[in-house]
Amino acid sequence: MTRSTERLAFAVVDLGFGDAGKGLLVDYLVRDCQATTVVRFNGGAQAGHNVVTADGRHHTFSQFGAATFLPEVSTLLSRDVLVHPTALLAEARALEKHGVRDPLSRVRISEAARVITPFHQALNRIRECALGASRHGSCGVGVGETVDHSIRRPGDALLMGRLSDMPAARRKLSRIQDHALAEVQALGRLPLEDPALRAELGILRDPSTPDIWLEQLQPLLVKDVVVTEEIFLRSLRESGAIVLEGAQGVLLDEVHGFYPFNSWSDCTFRRAVSLLSDAGWAGTLRRLGVLRCLPIRHGPGPFPTETDSVSAAIREPHNRETRWQGPVRYGWFDAVLGRYALEALGGVDMLAITHLDALSRLEQWKLCDAYHLNGSNCLTRLAGLAGSLTPLLEKIEPIWSAESNPREPRVLERIEAALGVDVSIGSHGPCASDVFRLRGKALAGRWSAFMRSTGTPASHGRGAGDCSLR
């Protein structure tokens, strides 16, 4: 197979509520196309991208690029990423335990990236506690509070490039602390019997917190990790093949998600495109959308096809209920939401369907291709509807079709027909070696050829395979 000499960038975006397998696809693409750069272009430290290697190592990547197990791969955290410095240091220590040598030497962070402080995180968690049963399902990392604060008080926003000026950073931290305390007081009565809430209040009220936190950051600041925007863009411009790793999912997007159960993040391709344009990167960008054949949602919010009947088949060891997000929920494939996500993105160049191995553990697989609205109206698309979609999705009833004894080729054909997009990539396991590629429109024929082959059609070692994915 002849390798393409075309210079490529792949942007990976989740078309659902997150947890579709972006980490797996990033790791696979980097290996297959010999990319040496992974760019994080949205979101922040709330990302949780699981990667399992062939030798059994597992890590949930949060701020490091999901291909960091490969020794020659570097991570670029762009100006649009919310950086949690102490969490970044903790992740570096965890990676070192997995055998990754000096992880921080392979990270470059734009000086313009905003910083999540302990006060943003504490305020985030206290606000969620105050909401009680009406919680929004925050990850509890402080991303939303950091964005909101930087918009309302731009002069107080703490940027990565300013952390080295300790006196100035200390003054900004004190103002952020005062602001967060004022926000807490405005919440009124709090459930102080909650030990987690009391711990967060302690962080907000302790005058020594800024100095303690800044001291913890010293290992990060003494390394050449934070760079000017000019150097950052030059590094991007001079990179060969690039994989841009999105966070969260389109259905959690700050505009297209279902308020208030959405993220303070642009989860589309827009930030990735803008970044490449500003860097003057010359090559072809391919936009990859990722969906699970059986979706999940972590935390509260609309989930029209939710069901308990698939949880045993697709329950995952690396995605569990957390203190802040709440339970992991499971459902059947929702083509209406899939079409909505595709329209929000303006389409994709490639579509990946993951977690296909779960099908073998099911007696049937269901697809929702339309909703009943108010008991009669048939709704097949959400794009263009007026008003908030959140209350609407609470009123609809899915219209189902089912596949008995589901098999991958038939399921993929049904997904292609429902979404109007060819499936380019599939996966039936957690490792890069479990990813396979499909070409053209005759899916059944492609699948037969794949099953007759002695191995997967794409080699998953670095240096093998055709990275054009045509």
The per-residue pLDDT for range 341-363, each reduced to its tens digit, is 999 999 999 999 999 999 999 99
Q: At what angle do helices 209-216 and 85-97 cross, to 10 degrees?
A: 40
Average pLDDT for residues 249-266, to the nearest whole number? 92
| CATH 3.40.50.2300 corresponds to the domain 8-109+227-452 | no
Is residue 13 a contact partner of residue 289, using CB atoms and an 8 Å limit?
yes
Is residue 320 a contact partner of residue 298, using CB atoms and an 8 Å limit?
no
- Render 23-45 in DSSP notation, one character per residue: HHHHHHHHHHHT--EEEE-S-BT
Model pLDDT for residues 186-237, shown as the tens digit of each residue:
988 887 778 888 889 999 999 999 999 999 998 888 778 999 999 999 999 9
Q: What is the pLDDT of residue 2?
A: 36
Sketch the domain layout of the chain as residue ranges.
8-109+227-452, 118-158+164-216
Q: What is the pLDDT of residue 45?
A: 86
Lowest mean pLDDT across 99-103, 110-114, 136-140, 295-299: 136-140
Lowest mean pLDDT across 235-244, 357-366, 384-393, 427-436: 384-393
Average pLDDT for residues 427-454, to the nearest whole number? 63
Per 3-state DSSP, the chain is made up of helix, strand and coil in percentages (nearest 5) of: 40, 20, 40
Q: What is the pLDDT of residue 335?
A: 98
Does the predicted model carry a pTM greater than 0.75? yes
What lies within 8 Å, CB to CB, of 274 at 6+ separation is none
Average pLDDT for residues 270-274, to the nearest whole number? 97
Residues classed as catalytic: 19, 49
Residue 41: closest CA among 313, 200, 210, 232 = 232
Query: Phi/psi at 248 (nearest 5 deg)?
Result: 55, -145
Residue 184: closest CA among 120, 234, 235 = 120
Is residue 13 a contact partner of residue 290, using CB atoms and an 8 Å limit?
yes
Q: Which two tokens stand for residue 49?
A: 């991208």
